Structure 1
Amino acid sequence: GLGIHFFLITVVHLLMGWQLAIWVAALAISGTIVLGLESPEGFGINMLVSVLIPLLTNYCVWLAHDRSKSTHPFSFIFLVAFLGAAASVITSGLMMTLILWSQSIYSFEQITNEFWVFIPLIAAPEATINGMLISILIFNHPEWVRLFDQNRYLSKHS
């Protein structure tokens, strides 16, 4: 259905890399099934919309930033963590819209009126939470953030 929740997949991706993030997210979704919060039939669609699409988006944002050769730590925090998280919510919403509309589960008008009005309301806090968590980690324990290159971002600014 038209459920909306925080992903925090950006933080998991930046901390662990995309491979381990998939396993961690699969475990989390399995936990919601065991607790009865989700049905087992929804595992595949939840993995696609809440994990794989956001991870692919985050990976593309990180890769584009990595290729930019920017060396300021704020660029990593703002562009990769903050904007990457917001972009993941939007791409996830687009995929969910495509699935729900193409399968005639909801009309496009209903999706637009009852789902898309919440996307900006969830994208902003998602971006803020992910940005704050990565900021805290980078400035306290940069070695924990696997995709953060300390030599690139911190050696010139120390």
Structure 2
Amino acid sequence: MFTAAVFAATLNRHTYQTLLKRPARQTGVFACALCLALIWQIQAGILEHLNIHILGITAATLVMGWRLAALCALLASLLLLYFTDLPVNQLAEFLLFSALIPIYLSYALYLLCYQFLPRHFFVYIFVCAFLCAGFVGAAKILISGGYFYLLGLYDLPTLLDNYMFYSVIIWFPEAMLNGMVITLLITYRPHWVKTFYDQEYLNK
């Protein structure tokens, strides 16, 4: 129920009406969902629930906006549910920690950067995309680890040794992937990136 409520907060009539009228945007949503599904199925884990994988969600949020990024994540999760061994009873948990919470974090960090930092091309790449993505990737592991601890699934030493420790390692590949994707897109297809404004970031 909590996951459904968090996703419902992303719903907006105008956003979806606009999406239905723009076939190119629909293609973008499905392409983004497919890319996320492909990335998410490459994961490692020793114990049940404690899976580690690249999120790619910060780039999706910057490109699609937070509302459509949530839709992309839902579609990607459903693809994983159908084509992989993702259990049905873990779908809500997976969607919440791998997508919805990282989307909210990514967009909140973007808004902070937009408000308080210079609106410059390199600020957008290195802070909004690279650093924020690394932070979100590490935060996902720490937040979900805390959730599993509160549920009593694992004790703290097990989580620290087999899961939370990897937040130190995952931040760089997460940051690198998202940073590279955003750099390529705003260099060759800046009009595809919803949160990138040419007049503000390039006219400096």
**TM superposition score category, shorter chain reference:** over 0.9
CA distance in 2, matches of 1:140, 1:91: 30
1:42-78 CA deviation, whole Å, 9 max, x = no partner? Answer: 1111111001111111011100011025132000111
TM-score by length of 1: 0.94
Find 1:62's aligned residue among 91, 110, 114.
Answer: 110
Find 1:50's aligned residue among 69, 88, 98.
Answer: 98
Find 1:39's aligned residue among 87, 96, 102.
Answer: 87
1:114 paired with 2:162, answer: yes
1:81 paired with 2:133, answer: no
Determine helix, strand or coil for the equivalent of 2:84.
coil
The aligned residue for residue 2 of structure 1 is 50
CA distance in 2, matches of 1:71, 1:9: 22
The aligned residue for residue 71 of structure 2 is 23
Q: Which runs of 5+ in 2 are unaligned?
A: 1-48
* Conserved 8 A contact 2:138-2:170: no
Which one is further off, 144-153 or 83-92? 83-92
1:9-43 CA deviation, whole Å, 9 max, x = no partner? Answer: 11111110010000111111111110132011111
CA distance in 2, matches of 1:121, 1:94: 12
* Conserved 8 A contact 2:139-2:167: no
Deviation at 1:4, TM superposition (A): 0.5
Q: Taking every aligned residue pair, what percent have the same amino acid on both sides?
A: 31
1:114-134 CA deviation, whole Å, 9 max, x = no partner? Answer: 112222221110100100110
Determine helix, strand or coil for the equivalent of 2:51.
coil
Check 1:115–1:69 CA distance in 2 against 1; reply closer, same or farther (3 A cut): closer
Check 1:99–1:153 CA distance in 2 against 1; reply closer, same or farther (3 A cut): same
TM-score by length of 2: 0.74
- 1:21 maps to a residue whose letter is A
Check 1:69–1:83 CA distance in 2 against 1; reply closer, same or farther (3 A cut): closer
RMSD between superposed Cα atoms in Å: 1.1
Determine helix, strand or coil for the equivalent of 2:106.
helix
